[in-house]
Amino acid sequence: MATDTVLPPGAAADWTIPQDWDSYTAQEHAVWDQLFARQAAMLPDRVVPDFMEGLEVLRMTRPGIPHFDELNERLMRATGWQVVAVTGLVPDEIFFDHLANRRFVAGRFIRTPEQIDYLQEPDIFHDVFGHVPLLIHPVFADYMQAYGEGGLRAARYGAIELLARLYWYTVEFGLIRSPTGLKLYGAGIVSSYGESVFALDHPSPHRIALDLERVMLTEYRIDDYQQNYFVIDSFEDLLRQTRDADFGPLYDRLRGHSPIPVGLLRPGDRVLHAGTQTYALGKAAAARRIPQTVHHKESHA
């Protein structure tokens, strides 16, 4: 999510930079178009319908890397959110402060053609295609703002690590129930071709009903597909459980607990699908056989 470094040259005090849309090359626009076409074709039956609606409402279906000024006009009209450009990761409190003020920070750079399937750092495709469409959903929009406010508060409690796991397992890798089965809404999934299939269809990962304490204690992986996904009933329910609850006592209680490793089920889990974990176990076994081989995949693609 964020890391502490020094303010990049040319950045404002809030770490934002101009998007400088005119300087994108034809090749960079073509990379966006290629990624967009692939995801737009496979997502409609998999993603929560509001996401596809967001692509339309925000006119992200037009070719090329979106121009933030145009995007922001429509986004502002829908829910009062804005997208602002940054060079890369920003310090936690800067990130939270932007969210608390309904500004979503997005990288301005895009991956190269060689990185179509693999990328460690979040680029504009992940940040804008993955995160922005759902910001037209009024309740999800409120959740994102509340999360930012909660982040500023968690910083004062020394509990950022606990709250960051909630972001990971909702905003980045969340699944949601629907009348026609589970759907995707997490940006880390919907911006990744491979994980958009894996998260819903593969027998390997656990799919567990979201429980705040459980999520806050659960480790996550940034180097490969998730070993567990957490499922919400609705955005309304997510908002109610988070914004309207005082996390102070929860942080105090969880502070001393050791984290739960990925891939474990625990007594009390409301398990929707007990994963076989075969995908993760297979990767681990292969890595032991060939120790010098690095098995990597995007964490944010």
Binding site for ligand PHE (CB under 6 A): 146-147, 150, 153, 166, 242-243, 245-247
Q: Which amino acid is at 214?
A: R
Going residue by residue from 181 to 200, which x/- string records binding to Co ion, judged by CB under 5 A? ------x-------------
Give the number of C-alpha atoms closer than 13 A to the C-alpha of residue 187, restricted to the C-beta side: 24
Q: Which partner from the list ligand PHE, Co ion, none does 147 bind, CB cut-off 5 to 8 Å by kind?
A: ligand PHE
Give the number of C-alpha atoms closer than 13 A to the C-alpha of residue 150, restricted to the C-beta side: 26
* Residue number, 250 or 265, with CB nearest to ligand PHE: 250
Characterize 191-202 residue by residue with b for buried, 16 or more Cβ atoms within 10 angstroms of its Cβ, and e for exposed.
Answer: bbbbbbebbbeb
Q: Which partner from the list Co ion, ligand PHE, none does 169 bind, CB cut-off 5 to 8 Å by kind?
A: none
DSSP state of 58: T
CB of 171 to Co ion, least distance (A): 7
Handedness of CA 214, 218, 224, 227 (dihedral sign): negative
Rounded-to-integer distance, Cα 228 and Cα 271, Å: 10
* Residue number, 20 or 252, with CB nearest to ligand PHE: 252
The total of other beta-carbon atoms located within 10 Å of residue 248's CB is 13
Q: Which partner from the list Co ion, ligand PHE, none does 283 bind, CB cut-off 5 to 8 Å by kind?
A: none
* Residue number, 31 or 166, with CB nearest to ligand PHE: 166
Q: Which residue is nearest to ligand PHE (CB)?
A: 150
Q: Which partner from the list Co ion, ligand PHE, none does 243 bind, CB cut-off 5 to 8 Å by kind?
A: ligand PHE
Site size with Co ion, rule: CB under 5 A: 1
